[in-house]
Structure 1
Amino acid sequence: MVKLLARRRTIPDPVALAPMLDDWMHSPLGNALIEAEKAQLAPVISRVFGYHMLQLSCSPGISMLDECPVGHKICFAPAWDPQRQAPVADNEALPLGTDSIDAVLLHHALDFTPDSHRLLREATRVLMPGGRLLILGFNPVSLWGISGLMRWHRQTPWNARFISRRRLTDWLRLLDFHVEKVSYGGFMPPLGHPRMLSQAARFEHWFDRLGNPTGAFYLIVASKQRMPVTPVAPRWPKLRAPALGAPLAETGRVASGRGTVIPMPPRKNLRQDDAGN
């Protein structure tokens, strides 16, 4: 039974997954989901500032950063496409410097990777301290999550991992992130019926006002709290200057180098000697 469930949850290779996920995202149901995600993301992404923003996605044909004011937007592809000409890289081994990106968006990237911990650690590595991490993922506690469990042949996107929001926030706290906001969206049923999809905006309006946590996706906004370690030089105590000598005592005694005291002759003897001379 365990082997059967594992076979049903097999995630295709990133090169093979990208065109399949792009095709589904451009379908009527996928397009309704993307519009709902952009509506949830718009007020957050419009307040992201900096020089560089990175989008990690298994669907490089979908851009979620159009409303972002950041000048330099980066989105990698798993394979070279002469039509898009996007840079090629592995999401779990990014060719970027540590602490070099102001904001990172994970657009269902954690849902379609066999090693979510590695991907999350790589996104944490490139994100600069104080930067923001935005995560869009499928919500297992939803009609979409139930639909994924009920489908015998889990084709894209129903072969996603559907990581729970609580589990993901626990991972973020272990990586020294502060979770600022969690919101939900995509309250339409997972059906491609045109009449049902025409009411998607109405579903979003009413269920979002009620704060319903059973949307098809969740949006997590977190900030990286870990600061770079700066080595601090030890503060050595100041040494006092060595004493050059000690003042003579009023008795006229002189101290030798070994700490002995040499008595001086009495003054009357000195006067007698002077008189004899």
Structure 2
Amino acid sequence: MSEKSIIALDKWLHSPAGAYVRAWEQSCLDELTADIFGYNAVQIGVPQIDALAASRMPNKWQAATRTSTADELAICSGNQIGIALDFAELPFASQSLDLVVLPHVLEFAAEPHQVLREVERVLIPEGQVIICGFNPASLWGVRQGVGKITSSDYLPTAGEFISLPRLKDWLKLLNLGVSRSHFGCYAPPFRTTHWLDRFSLMESAGQKWWPYLGAVYMVHAIKRVKGMRLIGPVWNKKKAKSTQTVPATNRNERIK
């Protein structure tokens, strides 16, 4: 992520719409991460959301870019163990992490494919990744498209928003199988808390009637390793051979 995109996203997350998104994502992340078990978890980017707050893993890290603002680094140090890194070159050993959370990282990264490749590398087999993103196929996405024409943007302009089908294709190429997808934030793209709150009833209606049109999505994927299967201990096979019954004809020969 560039310094320009970090500043733009940080400023937007402190707006009424940003607070609305953070509240929904925090609730959804708490529900998801509470049931994911392991030892090592990392949240990359957007420290304004404590994605690992409900995680019960013993080792948790909060990562920001080396170009992060002072406020972001302060938030990192206040939450989990804060580290500064390059998202495209993660300083973790291959197959060493159980969980990686990417809140709005791919859409603001210069090389989103490389970030995903690094995530796949550091995850253990059956390790899990959670990705948050803005949904282009939503009222907010339409508003952003109109804003680019009228020079009145609603979301940060530095981001390139990724549709869910496109993201699923990227994950599939890396053997990251999507387990679940969640959508939220169905209120129209208002700029004030007053109007966003007045349309809060659209949250339950959207989940029921137009579930794929939420302004934000969250994808939960699992790293699959091809050709990997569980087998029993070798001595079981040897034991099975040694305890085989002797055919009746052989028994008769021995009696003779």
Question: Residue 146 of structure 1: SS of its match in structure 2?
Answer: helix
1:149 aligned partner: 145
1:122 aligned partner: 118
1:74 aligned partner: 61
* 202-211 vs 114-123, greater mean Cα deviation: 202-211
Q: Retained in 2: the 8 A contact 1:32–1:200? A: no
Offset at residue 114 of structure 1 (A): 2.2
Whose helix fraction is larger, Structure 1's or Structure 2's?
A: 2
Residues 97 and 228 of structure 1: CA distance in aligned 2, closer, same or farther (over 3 Å)? farther
Question: Residue 219 of structure 2: SS of its match in structure 1?
Answer: strand
Question: Residue 222 of structure 1: SS of its match in structure 2?
Answer: strand
Offset at residue 56 of structure 1 (A): 1.6
From 12, 17, 27, give the equivalent of 1:29: 17
Q: Percent identity?
A: 31
Question: Residue 21 of structure 2: SS of its match in structure 1?
Answer: helix
Question: Residue 97 of structure 1: SS of its match in structure 2?
Answer: coil
Q: Retained in 1: the 8 A contact 2:42–2:62? A: yes
User: Matched residues in 2 for 1:96 and 1:228: separation?
Assistant: 25
1:107 aligns with 2:103: yes
Structure 1 runs (4+) greater than 6 angstroms displaced:
none
Q: Which has the larger radius of gyration?
A: 1
Aligned residues: 217
Equivalent residue runs for 1:254-269 within 5 Å: none
User: Matched residues in 1 for 2:119 and 2:220: separation?
Assistant: 14
Residues 177 and 208 of structure 1: CA distance in aligned 2, closer, same or farther (over 3 Å)? same
Question: Residue 162 of structure 2: SS of its match in structure 1?
Answer: coil
Deviations 1:46-74 (A, max 9, x none): 101111111122x3343222122222221
Offset at residue 228 of structure 1 (A): 9.3
* 30-39 vs 13-22, greater mean Cα deviation: 13-22
TM-score normalised by length of structure 2:
0.77
Structure 1 unpaired stretches of 5+: 1-12, 230-277
Deviations 1:172-200 (A, max 9, x none): 11111221111211111121123222135
Pairwise CA RMSD: 2.3
